[in-house]
Amino acid sequence: MKKILLSTLLISSFCSFSQEHFSGISTSKRGGLLSAANNPAELTNMNTKFEVNVFNFSIAMANNKLSFSDLTSSDNLEDKIFEGSDPVNLRIDAQMYGPSFAFKKGKWAFGINSSAYIKANVVNVDPNLGEAISNGNLSNLLTQTTLSSNDNQRLNATTWGELSFNLARNIMDGPKHKVSVGSNIRLLFPGAYANFSATNLNATLINNFGDISLVNATANVNISYAGVLANNYNDQSNYNEFFSQGINGFAADFGFNYRLKDEADPNSYKLNAGLSVKNLGSMTFKSDNNLSKNYTLDVSGLESLDLNQFENVESMAEIEAILSDPANSSFFQTTSSTGDVKVKLPTVINAYADLRLSKKWFLTGSINQKVSDDTESDITTTQNSYTLIPRFSAKWFEAYAPLASNEISGFTSGIGFRLSGFFIGSNSIITALANDGKQADLYLGMRFGF
């Protein structure tokens, strides 16, 4: 179990660079495929008839414990993340958009794009549990720690690929007003999945000079895995599996867009606003080593569960083998077991408005609000965010500075630039460097229109 916690931290150190990807550039006046990923109705607002996306990449990490200097120093992360009394929350999220193409014809706009995703998360982990497991065997003292949590404490990772088909149409396009609707239909290619969770954990941790045991313990435990993440989860190459299992899932996004035109400038507007519902769907993993198993943990009386046996495990399959070992069978009672691993995407409502203040100055406000409960064991996670983006926008150059309030990492501020079809930015670089913030991210990309 110690290895599980530490491996997730190692992944975060590797990524170390908000869950609102491409903030600023996705609401750019230029429009295009990135805007359509944010709201499919935006595809009709492309400035050119055709657009080709070469490559876009975004990686983000948000947490409520580690500062940017902690991440860059990499010293004693396992100690610092378990400080304090608040549950540990950490989200790592990477998106990669590959070759993609879009075009407009009359009132219609069409697009096709490929993408890949990585998500790794620590959700609501009790710092007392993490501290005891991470450092207990290094202690020379006899300690006792009481654990009591109604949360679903999760360690979770998911990888998958997508092929998306975009369709948008103008339903009104007059001299002053333009209204469009759109949808993205997404084919999902499950890659790999791993989940370890404990719900309603109540227990006492005993550290007897490095021998850690669990007494008077009750909890509901889930372990699920599929694909290469059933194997060594410390191997970073296992997080590169995106399209390995073929098409086995579907998702959809739906969007609405309103534009108040600038009659004096057909390439601009006075107001551009939109509303979209994203990630309506799920995927089912179908590799040969799939497993989803639920247990009831019950350690009572004078019995104790030895936690040191989890110390050197390096795979979810090894953990499952320990839970199923006859020596532990009296503690872990199987309540259900299946080879079907179905994972839901986190449904999000996205709303935004981009207001032109003067000829080249704009101000954007956006909300990303999840409507699904990401504490459940069968769902990937995201975080709520509220963003304000002042922007200078010319034809070939654009600069913007996102200011955001995030559910996990708090306040962040960043900066981004676009030069023709190339862009680079970060939602949090200013607070990370100036105020030692708890979020780090970076995105860049290249596309062109004709």
Instruction: Tell the residue number behind the tokens 């034809």, with chain if given.
Output: 395
Average confidence (pLDDT) over 79-97: 83
The mean-pLDDT minimum among 42-51, 168-177, 289-298, 366-375 falls in 366-375
Burial class of residue 409, CB neighbours in 10 A (0-12, 13-18, 19+): buried
Greater model confidence, 243 or 36 = 36
Confidence of residue 3 (pLDDT cuts 50, 70, 90): very low
Domain 2-17+19-449 annotated CATH 1.10.3470 = no
- The per-residue pLDDT for 251 is 96
342/291 Cα distance (integer angstroms): 10
Confidence of residue 5 (pLDDT cuts 50, 70, 90): very low
- Residue 6, pLDDT > 50, answer no
Provide the residue type at 310 as one letter.
F
- Residue 13, pLDDT > 80, answer no
- Residue 442, pLDDT > 80, answer yes
**How do beta strands 88-105 and 361-370 pair?**
unpaired
Sign of CA dihedral 26, 30, 31, 37: negative
- Residue 201, pLDDT > 50, answer yes
The mean pLDDT of the chain is 85
377/384 Cα distance (integer angstroms): 19
Q: 3-class DSSP state for residue 187?
A: strand
* Residues found in the chain: 450
DSSP states of 202-258 as a string? EEEEEEETTEEEEEEEEEEEEEEEEGGGGSBTT-GGGGG-SSTT-S-EEEEEEEEEE
Percent of the chain with pLDDT over 90: 43
- Alpha helical stretches, state H, 83-188: 127-135
- Of these ranges, 211-215, 257-261, 429-433, the one predicted with the greatest mean pLDDT is 257-261
- The per-residue pLDDT for 238 is 53
Torsion of CA 15, 99, 418, 175, to 10 degrees: -130
- Residue 17, pLDDT > 50, answer no
- The per-residue pLDDT for 315 is 78
- The per-residue pLDDT for 187 is 97
Q: 3-class DSSP state for residue 322?
A: helix
- Residue 234, pLDDT > 60, answer no
Query: Residues near 374 by Cβ (< 8 Å), separated by ≥ 6?
Result: 123, 346, 380, 381, 382
- Residue 350, pLDDT > 50, answer yes
Confidence of residue 372 (pLDDT cuts 50, 70, 90): confident
Greater model confidence, 419 or 287 = 419
Decide if 308 contacts 212 (C-beta within 8 A). yes
- The per-residue pLDDT for 306 is 86
User: Which pTM does this prediction carry?
Assistant: 0.85
Confidence of residue 14 (pLDDT cuts 50, 70, 90): very low
- The per-residue pLDDT for 420 is 92
Per domain, the residue ranges of the chain are: 2-17+19-449
Instruction: Tell the residue number behind the tokens 């995201």, with chain if given.
Output: 382
